[in-house]
Structures are given as structure tokens and as C-alpha cells.
Structure 1
Amino acid sequence: MYFPILCYFYNKYPERLVDYKKDILLAMRLNITLCVLSLLAVNKVQAQDTASRRTDTTQRLNEVIIYQANKTTPVTFQNLDMKRIREKNIGQEPSFLLSETPSITVYSDAGSQQGYSYYRLRGIDQTRINTTLDGMPLNEPEDQGAYFSNYPDILNSVSRIQIQRGVGTTKNGAASYAGSVQLFSPDLTDSSAVTVGGGYGSYNSFRVFGEYKSGIKGRKALYVRASQVYTDGYKEHAFNNSQSVFASGGLFYDKSAWKINIMAGHQQNGMAWLPVADTIIAKNRKANANSKAEKDEFFQGLVQLQQVWRPSSHANITSGIYYTYLKGGYGFDGNNFAGLPSTGELFHYNFRSHFAGFFSNYTLTHNKTKWTTGVHASWYTRQHKGVDDVLGELYRNSGYKSEASAYSKLEYYLDRFTLYADLQYRYATFNYKGSVDLERLNWQFLNPKAGVNYAINNQWSVYYSIGRTGREPTRNDIFGGSDDLAADSSSKPIIYNRDAEYVTDQELGVKLNTQRFTAQLNGYYMRFHNEIVLNGQIGPNGLVLTDNVERSTRAGVELYAAYQLNKNLSLINNSSYNHSVIKEQHSTFRPVLTPELILNQEVVYQQQRWLLGVSGRYQGSSYIDFANTADINSYVLLNARAQYTLGRYIVSLFVNNLTNARYYNNGSVDASGNRSYFVQAPTNVYVAFKYTF
């Protein structure tokens, strides 16, 4: 299965395979060893269990999902209510829907809910949040960011979402430093249906989509969805024009299943990544600090092939290969960035990347144990090119990132106790080819995790876990915000940071699950070493700048609660309190964009064909600079929605920011102390419909 990937990389990058020979051999040896262990275990189980002759059903496809925590796993996680997600999804960036869970903050460049948006978990940015689709990494290896904007309307094709807060369980790709967001592709076992939908709202925002589900027919199934999303944006010349497709197909056999996912997105944006000075906001809240000429265009597509084999009733082997391609770039107005009159001449950042990898996992469930072990390896290359409208091409360089990892996870069930242990070894390397020579950078991590869950009775349980993980710096951290590596007077590369950062995370929680009331209350204590934190500044390539701090801690309490008062009325609460401290050179201060208190409360009333919902959000103040001299004020948001269902028709009305609150949720401070902010939209409305036949 994996030989074609190696052949592709040998033909395209033979010099890289020479450099990474040891890494590839290590991954292959790990894979071979695990396969041998798997076959031995399978043979043993088959000899003991005649039930292995049972044929699989189509439901076995769900076994692809091996990283999802279950109710006895002693980690802090939340499975999102997909029915409620589908009711609220109008093609907005997923960040806004994720922000309705504990400890997540969100802001958008354009002020509206389409286009570029960003989220933070426990005050930690999304380059430190692992994001996967059916176990496939979605984080770009160089900068470790996952960009939902490149796959517009992605939640329209997602069957499940699990958010893990803290280091959680081992997953493929970027480190689960703050947590993880796990997306799962369409469930091909759903009944056949065709759905069309659309919507229109403030700022000339609209979405149209069509979706087809075949259901399983003759061991085969097909899913296809296509979407168009557009908005002018709240800010001036901050439009977003995006298209996407998602196709998924499956083959189902007695003891195995195959699934392929193909996803592609294309987007064009009017750029709005610069915050706006407060003096300008006072005159025009819709002002855009980026010039009208600054635009971007990106295409990103992926293909993922998965195979599930169930050789016995106790054993399961899942494997997958994947490939992602990205091409695009954006224009940068240097005069405008420097505060000079714009001449319309731009500098263009252009990118093209290839990302390929594989993973294989073996799970053995027998008596009181569940053992899962697996390997993952990936190869990534991105070409960077800088082109000036007048001077032409100024530089061209390439970054190469590869990694190999192996893990083993064990759950042991002892009466009401679940004992959990998880150990991962991960090796990552970064190489660079450009006008400045850079020695290859290597990082090795051994990430242990352990925990215990105790079921007090059928309704109550408590858990405790402790885990440690490390994370290498991004390319932007290493280069100090430069897209082309700079050199000093002696032609040596200027490296800002090459050291890894580490966190030790402890989680303690209690869960309650009854017929009408569900709740999870947890506390956490995260202790960091050499943490890479935002310093409140933005580099000339539009990416935020960071600094290292010697010691820092993040601690807090998080609550999720849902109460069904009666058959018509339900209450949902997601709240969090965060106390974070950075200690550096005898000084103590708070990290940026980390509010202490966040409260989300929603009331939903449903009567026959009608559904009415009102939600409120309080977000406390937070600092926007490293020195804690400037902050953004706390704010309260009220949103409302109404839904009417008539047969196969669903019509929805959304009214956001009912009180017309004037608020910011991000900003920066320049060297002179001038403050700039990202303005978010005032009262806005959106109407949507959906028809299924």
C-alpha cells in the first residue's frame, strides 16, 4: 500500500530520500514490527475464538475512527451535537460554531462569519491545536496551522466532531498541545437522499449547496456535496468568494471496507489581516487597514484512501494513505504596511506545497483490555516565492518537513475502574534550501500519558489524567516572521528559535449523565517549559510573531451542561474560567488574548414545527500586548434563531448581535504604543432554507 508513495517521492525528490533514509527506514521497521505483532495476536485470537467467523456488517466502517475518546477514556473531551450544528450551519467558518464550547475564543479578519477566522483554545492559538479528518492531519507541517477557509462549508460534510482539551490521546500530525479538533467524514451508511439549500443575509452574504447520498447499494456507497459561499464582508473591500466539493465513496465486504475521501476548495479574498487604528475606528468602524489592491487566491485539495480489516471479532486493522496539494498566494502592499501612501504596487507571496503520508493501526480488544498501537509517517515540501510588481522575482526557497511516529495505547477495565496508558515517540525534521545555507533541524519527543476513570454508578464518573507532550517551533518561529531566511554579516543564518516547547497537563473531572441532564465539570493545570507565546506583533508576511518564555502556567475550570426541562424546553451551558501566568526575568504577567471568564448560555424551545433559540455570550477582557499595557474590553453578545419545518422543507432565520454591541476580540500595539483592533460586525441577519427529497 505504501510503496507507491515512496516511489513518488524518490522520483520527485531523490536527494531528500537520501537525507531522510534513516527516518524512512525507522518508520518501515516500526511498521513491520507492529504488523508482525498484529498477525501473531490475530492468530492467537482466531485460535481461541470461533466467533471470528462472523461476517462484518456495513457498520464496521466506523472502526476507522480509532482516535476518538469514549465515555470511559480519562481525558477531557466533548462530542458536539451534530443535529444542533446542522441547524446552525449556514456556511460560516467552523471557528464560530466551535466557540460555543468551553475555553474557545474566535475572531475574524473581515468582521463577519465568512472568510478568514481564527480560534484559540485555553488562550493557545490554533497552530498548537491538532486537527484531523478521519485520522489524517489537516495542519500544514511548516506553520502547523489548519485553515478551514481553504475548505469552505466543510461542516456540511462532517458526520461527527470531537474536541479534546489538553494533551488528550495520541493523534497523527501536529502536537495536541492545547487540544485537538477531530473531524469525521460523511457516514456512508446513511439513507439515500438529495438535499439542496441556500441562504442570504447582511453584507451581501449567501451560500448555495447541493448534496447527494446514495446509501449502500450492492456493497457500494457514494456521497457528493458542492457549495458556493460569498460575502462582501463587514469591513470595506474584505470580500470572500469560495467554492468547495466533497466526494466520498465506499466498498463494503464481509470483513473489510474501503473508503476514499476527496475534498477540494478554492477561495479568493479581499485581505483584512491588519488591525485598524483606534483613531480610524472612531471615524469609520468598517475601515480596512489593508489596501484595496491586497487580495489572495488559494486552491487546496486532498485525497485520502482508508482500509479497515477485521480478521476476527477481537482484532481490527486500519490503514490509510493521503495526499494534499496547495497552490496560491497573496499580495502585500509594503507602502501601506509602513504607513506610506499606497502606489498600488504589490509584493506577492506565492506558495505551492505537497503533503503525503500514511498511517496504520492495530486494535485488539479482549476480555478486560483494549490495546491499540500504530505508526504514522509523512513528507512535506513547500516552495516559497517572492515576486515584486516592478523588480520581478526576488527570491525562491523551499522548506522540507518530515516526521515519523509510533505509539501504543492500553486501556484496562477493572470492575468500575478504567486504567489508561499511552506512549508516543515522534521524530520531526526540517530542511531548507535557499540563498542562505541552513543545517537540518531535528527534534525528538517521547510523549507519555496516563489516567484513571472511576464509574461511581451508571450516572456518575470521575477521572484524572496526566500527560506530557512536546512541540517543535514553526518555520515562522524559526525565521522570526521572514518568508526568506536572512543572514548576518558573516553569511550565517539568523535563527530566532530552534528549541522545542513542552507542556505537562493534568486534568481532573466529573461527569453526570441522566435521561434529562448531562454535565461535565473539569479542572486543568498546564505547566509549560520554553513556551512559544504571541507577543502581540504582526510580521510583514501577515503572520503573528512570537517570543519564548522560560516558565508559564495555565489553570482553570470548564463546564458543559445540558438540561432538558421538558419535551419542549432545553438549556445548554458552556463556561470556563482561566488563570494563566507567565514568569520571565523576575516579572509576572498574563499571556495575550486569554480572557479569564467565558460564559455561553443557550435556551432552545421546540414546539411541533417551530424551533426558537436564544444564546448569550460573555467574554472577559484580555491583553493584546506582551507587556500587559493594553487590553480589549469585555463584551456581551446576544444571538437568536428561529426555524420552521414543513415536511421536507426547513426555513431558518438568524439574528446575530441583537443588542448591536460594539466590540473587538483581537488587536495589537505597535512600538510607539498606538493601539489597533479587529472590529467585529454589529447586528446582522441571515435567512436560510433547505429541502431534502
Structure 2
Amino acid sequence: MRYFWLLALAVTVTVQGAFAQSIVGTVRDARTSSPLPLASVQLLHGNMGMAADRSGHFEFDNLSEGSYVLRVSFVGYETVERKVQLGHADVFVAVEMHAVAMPGPEIEISAMRARERFSPVTFSDIDREDIESEYYMQDIPVMLADLPSVTFYSESGHGIGYNYLRIRGFDQRRLAVMVNGVPQNDPEDHNVYWIDLVDLLGNTDNIQVQRGAGSAFYGPPAIGGSINIVTGDFANRKGVSISTGAGSYNTQRYALAVGSGLVDDTYTFFGRFSRMSTDGYRDHSYTKASSYYVAATRYDEDVTTRLNIYGGPLEDGLVYYGLPRFAIEDRDERRKNYNYWEAADGEYTWTSERRKQEHEQFSQPHFEMLNEWKASESLTFNSALFYVIGQGYFDYDGTGWTDAAYYRLTPEFGFENVGDPANPIIRAYVDNRQVGWLPRMTYAHDGGSFTAGLELRRHRSEHWGRIQWAEGLPTGLDPHRRYYEYRGGKDIAAAYVQEQYSLTDRINVMGNLQYVFNRYSLFDEKYVGTEFDHDYHFINPRLGVNFNINDAWNLYGNVSYTHREPRLKNLYDAAESSGGTTPQFAQNADGSYDFDNPYVRPEKLLNFELGAGFVGDRHRVLLNAYVMDFEDEIVKSGGLDRFGQPITGNADQTLHMGMELVAQYQLLRSLAVEVNGLLSRSRLESYTVYDTDDDGNSVATSLDGNRIAGFPEQLANVKLRWRESGITGVLTLKYVGEQYTDNYENPENRVDPYSVLNASIGYRTPPVMGLRSVDLRLTVNNILDRLYAQSGEGNQFFVAAERNFFVDLVLNL
């Protein structure tokens, strides 16, 4: 923590010198008055140039008197040139830029996209230039980890493979994640599998992260927030780029990108293909993945249509169990990857090495058709039609915890006198198919706009498990015999409306109302024959207001009410039926299940947000407070499943409160500092858990007032960013406060506070040897070589890698 305060102190001290005159100014969109961060600003006299900061501000210091020509350019806007006469005093220049008229309308990906000083929501943006300066091959959660109230952890330890993201402490199952507005959370499991989006950042134009409830109209309910990743139309990405890179743990990446630019004022085509591999930080945590992204856009006078196809096959070694607490600071033990262990008094009492056969193979291609039709000046129709396929398997060790009965190798199923299979490897297979349509209509009227839309999705899945290999199997056993098999489904239908209205020039209001219908289905279950449908109906409202006090200050606030249904696995874990798992529904008098009455209830959230923002010439500040009042919040209820994931249940009443600070300041012409922090409190207000004693009696334990597992209550980030003459440098310090890994506040099940320092430096050359440019970058993570854990579940902890690096080279033809 002391490094955080030292760096924070250093970057807030500025030495003011005695310079000559300056030309200062701002760059904004002429229609919306929104700042255009990173616009290119040049003084043609003296060949000086810079990028506007995130507030659209720029400043040229130490200039002599005379006449200058200021040239400002920004992708998608007409270049502006202004003559500036500099005398004895500084000159302020307000530059307003007009968007270039494309042959057809630009596709508006999402109706929920927020705008500064207009939308009464709390959000952060990452633009293309930030991505280019920091992305090497890390997964998306690593890229987002420096944003306010965001944390992540990696099973493998170094940010490639299976990674998990949290916003305000809420895990990614409770976030709404979208790519081009298309939901990415698994409909049955709610999880987001970032490993299936390998190298998507190489095709991404911008990312918006909204914090708080109700920030998505479609997809899974946004409890902690929403993330919308937008890939480009690539009209301005003409040419060929070849990239390669290598780093620690035998990490390698190769990529080829080809863009046509605008062809015949009608079409654009873009493709990116990549291959990456790594051995991983922990043992047997390798990943091998290929990816493809192909996009084609057609512009007509009033209609724009884009086709996106992306995905890629992958293989990775399983690494889903954490390590005991004593291994965190042991440089040898922290790299271990056991499939099972027991420990006591600071040492192992039993370990089982991860077997080489334990791996996963999966592929998840996405097919999207995005369309925008500008029917008139006031009426626009948008549509997103998509189809997603997810197929694959993972093989894992069944030694020590399974027997012949688990695999249904008993007389009941035609097997006599069968012993327990020895050293079995289990294959779990899944085949997911999802099709969806997201149409919407926007009507611009006097004073505002009205939007109405639908979400229609159909998801079907097939799940089965079999013995892939074992010793002592019955003679003649069909190698394809499945010991569990079932099909799942989810049908989703939602409708929403949104009104954005300007009461005055300074006050605008926003109102949203969403109706959601979800139906879970489980059918065709082999052996047991359980079948059910269960429906959920939700109405989710949100109301907000933004008040621009003046050109610098604004206030905003919103209140929302949101529901979220349990996972299908909360209702019935059919894959474990042979191990004794039963449907989690109330039973009727005759012993049958009442499938209208599940034990795990939907969680309900009342969320209040209140914020104040200030935008100056060289700095920007946002202070936000939130209160999140839950009924039946779905929390960790103790214990882990076979794959290290927490078993969850309802807590009657919980309360989350916090304050977030975001500040950005342009220290020098080429040097900016960004600081953000979170102070929060997350408590179980009313929660009782039940267990049994040695005599089989039920014992109640009240956890009222305890901290909620997985929620660090202090977060802070400091980022220094340098841009000058093709050089980009980023230095980031992150601090994460302590967090508990269970709800009992057991001091042994606690992730200690940690701070980590990361850096990258890159250089883009001017045209050289017939190339448009050459990019060279070095990234170093965990510069101080700290030994720490990022997260944990119960008594298992997930460690972060030691100091590691990556070097990459890009040739732009």
C-alpha cells in the first residue's frame, strides 16, 4: 500500500515554470458537444503535434508570438484547419468537428450506450487508441482491470485462459456482457467464458462499462453492471498488418489482419486471423488457441448492413482448483496444479497430481447480422440477428471419489459383480445452440427520443458424460456408453421501452421499463427421467435525471429495480444425478416434485446511484455514491462443486454501499494521470445457514452482519500515460483490499491486500522501408515481483504470476 501512496503523491505534484505564450483549446463533436478524446492536433508551424486528452483538451506551451495554423483530425470526422494569431496573451481555441457523411447510416450498436453529461448513469470507456497501446494478448478481464471498481483473477495466474471479472465485487455471472449488443453470458449457467473470445480485442473499437443495476435492456440482468464490446466497421482500417510476439512461460502470438477500407463507396471488408499459445504460469495450465474474425459491411443510402463471423478452436489444460494459503509465498508450491489436495498445519497431508489427460477442447463460432435502416429523419430501425454454436468437452480425473455406482455399472443397469473402475478419466461433453433476434425502433421527437425493442432468444443444449479411460472396466463395455445424459433449454422473450427527454437545456431525464420472460427446460434425461419447465416473469424499471449546472459541473442520479433468476444448475444439477443430486424443488405429499416451487429464489435489487462530475480544460473528476439493497441475494452458501465453483443460495437481506472516485489530469502536454478508487461496505443483513451436528441434528448459525465473500471493500488504481512523437508509455499501480472467501469471516479464508505495478512502453515509427509504420512494444507485469493471491474460494487461493514480460512487433503495410 505504501507504494500506492508514494506514487499518488508524486503524480499530484506539478512544477509550474515560466513559459512564453500558449495555445490551448478543446475538441468537441459539433452536434452533441461531446469531447473527442485523442483527436490529433498539430501546429503546422514548427511541426508540433499531440493527441487531445480524454476531455478533448490540448495545449501547446512555450510558443513565440506569430501566426500559426492549427490542424485537427479525428477518425470519422472532417479535418479542421484554423489560423491562430498569437500575441502577448494565451489564446483559447474551441474546435467543433463534423462527422464525415458515410454512404449509409452508421450502425448504432446499442440503445443503452451512455454519454457524458447526458446519461444519468455511471460508466467508463476504453477507446481504440487505449486498446492499441496496452493490448498484447491478454484476455479481456485483464484489459478492464484498471477501470473503477473492477478486479479480476486468473486460474492459470498470468491472464491467459480462464479469467474471471468482478465489478463492485459482483462476479461475472451477475454482469451483462455483450459483443456488438449480442449477449455473451451462457443462458443456463450465466457465466462468461472469455477464453472463447481469444484475440477479440484486436478487432475492438471501443468498450463501455456501466456500473450499477439495470444497465442492460437485454441479455442477463445487470446486477453489478454491464460491459458492451463493440467491434469496428473498419472503413478506416485499410491495409495489412502482421504481428508477432513472445514472452514469459513460452507465450507466443502470431496475427494477420487485412482491411479493404471503403470500396466503391459501398463496401468494407476486414479479416483478422491469429494463433496463440502459452505453457501457463501454473503447471499444466497451457492454452493453445486459434481465432478468426471476418467482417463485411454494405452501405446504402438509408440502410447499413454488417456481417460478423468470429470464433476459433482452443485446447487448454485444466487448472480450476486453487492452492492452500501456505503456498502463496512459496515460489515452487504456488506453481503447482493439483486436482485434489488436503492440508493441515501449514503442510499437505494428501495431494493428487493433475494428470496430462485432463484437458479441454472447445469451439464457439459466432454469426451476426447487424442492420440499421434510417426510415426518415426521425425514425430509425435497428436489428441484430445472431446464431452461436458452442461444442466441446473436458476430460477430468475421477480417481478417489467415484465408484461403479456413480457410473451406473450396477445390476440395476445390467452389470453384475463389477468392481470400481480404477484411475478413471471422465469426459463431459456439451453442445450449445443459441439463436436470437434483437430488433428496436428509435423515434426522435421534439426534446428527446423514444426507443422500443424486443429480445427474442432460443437456447438448446445437450450434455453427457462417459468414462473416457479407466482400468478394470467390464469386458465388452461400450466405449461410448454415457452414464448421464440430458438436454437443457432456455427461452427468453423481453420487451423494453426507453424515453430520453430534455426538460430544459440543462436538465434531461431518462426512463426505462423492461418486461422479461424466462423459461428453463430440462428434458430427455436418461436413467432418471426428470423433466420440467420453470417460468420467470420480471418487470424492471429505471428512472434517472442529469442536471448540467454549467459548462463544467453536472449532477446525475438514478433509481432502478432489477430481478435475476437462479442458474439452471441451482434448480437441478443433472450431471451429478448418479452421485445423489436431486431436483431442488419442494416436494408434494406423494413425494413428487413441485416444479413451480424451487428452493432457490430470484434475487431482487433496489439500486440508487448519485454522482457529480466536473470537466475542466485539463482535468476531469467524477464522484459517485451507490446503495444496493437486496432481497434474496444469491450468495455463496458454503462448499465447492467438483470444479472449484462455489455452491450458492439465497440470503434474506443484504446491503452494499460504496463511493467511487475517478480523476484525470493532464500534467504536461504529453503526460496524463488517471486515478480511481472505491470505498465500499457489503454486509449480510439477515442470513442464517443450517448444518447438521454429529448426531444428525440441524444446527442454525446466524451470519447477520458478516462481510459478504468475494467483495474487497477498498480498491485503487493510478495510471500514468505518456504519449509523445510515436512513443506511448503506461505505468499502472493497482491496490486491492482484503476480501473473504467465505461468509464466516474465517481469517484463514481471507485474501490479503495486495498492490501490483505493471508497465508497458511502445514506439510507432513513421513510414519506413515501404511500410506505413512499425510498432514495437514491451509489457512487464508485476514489476516488483510480488507473491500474492488475487482471489479464492473457501480454503483455495488463486495466485498471480511472478514478474513476467511480453514483447510484440507489428508491421503495418
For Structure 1 versus Structure 2, the TM-score category normalised by the shorter chain is 0.7 to 0.9
Q: Secondary structure at the match of 1:424?
A: strand
Structure 1 regions of 5+ residues with no counterpart? 1-54, 670-674
- Against the structure 1 CA distance between its residues 322 and 90, is the aligned structure 2 distance closer, same or farther, given a 3 Å change threshold? same
Instruction: Say if 2:619 and 2:664, in contact at 8 Å, map to a contact too.
Output: yes
Instruction: Say if 1:205 and 1:231, in contact at 8 Å, map to a contact too.
Output: yes
- How much does 1:492 deviate? 4.8
Q: Kindly indicate whether residue 501 of structure 2 is the aligned counterpart of residue 412 of structure 1.
A: yes
Q: Kindly indicate whether residue 113 of structure 2 is the aligned counterpart of residue 68 of structure 1.
A: yes
Higher mean C-alpha deviation, range 167-176 or range 573-582: 167-176
- How much does 1:145 deviate? 1.4
- Against the structure 1 CA distance between its residues 59 and 559, is the aligned structure 2 distance closer, same or farther, given a 3 Å change threshold? farther
Q: Kindly indicate whether residue 733 of structure 2 is the aligned counterpart of residue 640 of structure 1.
A: no
Q: 1:676 aligns with which of 768, 783, 796?
A: 796
Q: Secondary structure at the match of 1:83?
A: helix
- In 1, the alpha carbon distance for the partners of 2:110 and 2:373 equals 13
Higher helix share: 1
Please name the residue that 2:750 is paired with. Answer: 631
- Against the structure 1 CA distance between its residues 276 and 379, is the aligned structure 2 distance closer, same or farther, given a 3 Å change threshold? same
- In 1, the alpha carbon distance for the partners of 2:678 and 2:172 equals 18
Q: Secondary structure at the match of 2:108?
A: helix
Q: 1:397 aligns with which of 486, 497, 502?
A: 486
- In 2, the alpha carbon distance for the partners of 1:414 and 1:491 equals 57
Please name the residue that 1:5 is paired with. Answer: none
Please name the residue that 1:445 is paired with. Answer: 538
- How much does 1:105 deviate? 1.3
- Against the structure 1 CA distance between its residues 73 and 156, is the aligned structure 2 distance closer, same or farther, given a 3 Å change threshold? same
Please name the residue that 1:432 is paired with. Answer: 522
Please name the residue that 2:691 is paired with. Answer: none
1:129-185 per-position Cα deviation (integer Å, ceiling 9, x unaligned) = 101122211111001112121120111111111101112434221111111000112
Q: What letter matches 1:366 in structure 2?
A: H
- Against the structure 1 CA distance between its residues 336 and 285, is the aligned structure 2 distance closer, same or farther, given a 3 Å change threshold? farther
Alignment of 1:182-581 (within 5 A): 182-218=228-264, 219-279=266-326, 282=330, 284-290=333-339, 291-292=354-355, 293-335=357-399, 344-389=423-468, 390=470, 392-415=481-504, 416-433=506-523, 434=525, 435-479=528-572, 483-484=576-577, 486-487=581-582, 492=593, 497-535=599-637, 537-581=639-683
- How much does 1:499 deviate? 1.8
- How much does 1:524 deviate? 0.6
Compute the RMSD of aligned alpha carbons. 2.3
- How much does 1:116 deviate? 0.7
- How much does 1:677 deviate? 1.4
- How much does 1:189 deviate? 2.4
Q: Kindly indicate whether residue 813 of structure 2 is the aligned counterpart of residue 688 of structure 1.
A: no
Q: What letter matches 2:233 in structure 1?
A: D
- Against the structure 1 CA distance between its residues 683 and 280, is the aligned structure 2 distance closer, same or farther, given a 3 Å change threshold? closer
Q: What letter matches 2:750 in structure 1?
A: D
- How much does 1:519 deviate? 2.3
Q: Secondary structure at the match of 2:201?
A: helix
- Against the structure 1 CA distance between its residues 117 and 453, is the aligned structure 2 distance closer, same or farther, given a 3 Å change threshold? same
- Against the structure 1 CA distance between its residues 691 and 515, is the aligned structure 2 distance closer, same or farther, given a 3 Å change threshold? farther
Instruction: Say if 1:309 and 1:316, in contact at 8 Å, map to a contact too.
Output: yes
Instruction: Say if 2:178 and 2:227, in contact at 8 Å, map to a contact too.
Output: yes
- How much does 1:96 deviate? 0.8
- In 1, the alpha carbon distance for the partners of 2:449 and 2:726 equals 44
- In 2, the alpha carbon distance for the partners of 1:56 and 1:668 equals 52
- In 2, the alpha carbon distance for the partners of 1:296 and 1:532 equals 29
- Against the structure 1 CA distance between its residues 90 and 56, is the aligned structure 2 distance closer, same or farther, given a 3 Å change threshold? closer
- In 1, the alpha carbon distance for the partners of 2:423 and 2:309 equals 38
- How much does 1:65 deviate? 3.3
- Against the structure 1 CA distance between its residues 208 and 236, is the aligned structure 2 distance closer, same or farther, given a 3 Å change threshold? same
Q: What letter matches 2:439 in structure 1?
A: S
Instruction: Say if 1:417 and 1:454, in contact at 8 Å, map to a contact too.
Output: yes
- How much does 1:56 deviate? 7.3
Higher mean C-alpha deviation, range 407-416 or range 638-647: 638-647
Instruction: Say if 1:481 and 1:541, in contact at 8 Å, map to a contact too.
Output: no
Instruction: Say if 2:214 and 2:540, in contact at 8 Å, map to a contact too.
Output: no
Please name the residue that 1:602 is paired with. Answer: 719
- How much does 1:205 deviate? 0.7
- Against the structure 1 CA distance between its residues 294 and 679, is the aligned structure 2 distance closer, same or farther, given a 3 Å change threshold? same
Instruction: Say if 1:160 and 1:185, in contact at 8 Å, map to a contact too.
Output: yes
Instruction: Say if 1:384 and 1:483, in contact at 8 Å, map to a contact too.
Output: no
Q: Secondary structure at the match of 2:111?
A: coil
Higher mean C-alpha deviation, range 290-299 or range 254-263: 290-299
Q: Secondary structure at the match of 2:333?
A: coil
Alignment size in residue pairs:
633
- Against the structure 1 CA distance between its residues 113 and 287, is the aligned structure 2 distance closer, same or farther, given a 3 Å change threshold? same
Q: Secondary structure at the match of 1:149?
A: helix
Q: What letter matches 2:318 in structure 1?
A: M
Instruction: Say if 1:76 and 1:168, in contact at 8 Å, map to a contact too.
Output: no
Scaled by the length of structure 2, the TM-score of the pair is: 0.75
- Against the structure 1 CA distance between its residues 364 and 545, is the aligned structure 2 distance closer, same or farther, given a 3 Å change threshold? same
Higher mean C-alpha deviation, range 186-195 or range 263-272: 186-195
Structure 2 regions of 5+ residues with no counterpart? 1-99, 340-353, 403-420, 474-480, 689-701, 767-772
- How much does 1:542 deviate? 4.4
- In 2, the alpha carbon distance for the partners of 1:432 and 1:426 equals 20
- Against the structure 1 CA distance between its residues 112 and 263, is the aligned structure 2 distance closer, same or farther, given a 3 Å change threshold? same
Instruction: Say if 2:508 and 2:547, in contact at 8 Å, map to a contact too.
Output: yes
Scaled by the length of structure 1, the TM-score of the pair is: 0.88
- How much does 1:344 deviate? 4.6
Q: Secondary structure at the match of 2:106?
A: helix
